[in-house]
Amino acid sequence: MQSHAETHQTAAMLEDAAQVIEATAKPLGGYRWRQVDGEAPELGALPLYLTVKHSNGGEAALRRIKSAVEARFGSDLVMALNDNNLTIMPIWLGKQYAVAHLIAQFRAQDPDLPVLGIGDSLSDIGFMHLCDFLVTPRGSQIAKSLGSLEK
């Protein structure tokens, strides 16, 4: 769980990232973004992540936004670009942390319990590699990246 200081640091980083998005995306037009918040009883409202979409299906525009945010924040923020969606989140907010926690809980009760990881995005690989079996739909981003194996 984040401390009050870490919460404020995350909020400030996401605010700064939103400004980078605005400055980079405004000249491109056709984009929209929003901040997604959560809440923790001890800390109140927590900014969790930003999501950016481009109305023209413009992955090139989203790549420019992603590059601008990466230039400003380096590896302090994690970004996932999937077709027409760019997600920007703090490094501590990864599915792999939740999955690792759940696997530890379940394996404490049953050490031989098989774990099935299902995902479609390259950003899902972080948690999927913790699982015993991996499943991805045909045509997904993961499957497309493995396309050369189909031949």
Task: Flag whether pLDDT at 136 surpasses 90.
Answer: yes
Q: Position of tokens 């490094």?
A: 91
Given 57, 90, 123, which residue is the final one in a domain? 90
Mean pLDDT of 98-102: 92
Cα 118 from Cα 81, distance rounded (Å): 18
Cα 146 from Cα 11, distance rounded (Å): 37
Do 100 and 143 belong to one domain?
yes
Given 90, 119, 139, which residue is the final one in a domain? 90
| Residues above pLDDT 90, as percent of the chain | 36
The model's pTM is 0.73
To 10 degrees, the CA torsion angle through 64, 80, 37, 90?
-90
Do 44 and 72 belong to one domain?
yes
CATH number for the domain harbouring residue 76: 3.30.1240
pLDDT of 125 reads 92
pLDDT of 31 reads 82
pLDDT band at 57 (very low <50, low <70, confident <90, very high): low
Contact in structure between 93 and 113 (CB atoms under 8 Å):
no
pLDDT of 4 reads 61
pLDDT of 130 reads 96
Mean pLDDT of 74-84: 85
Do 101 and 82 belong to one domain?
no
Query: Which has the higher per-residue pLDDT, 4 or 111?
Result: 111
Least Cα distance to 22 among 12, 6, 38, 33 occurs for 33
pLDDT of 149 reads 56
- The domain containing residue 112 runs over which residues? 95-150
Given 90, 109, 138, which residue is the final one in a domain? 90
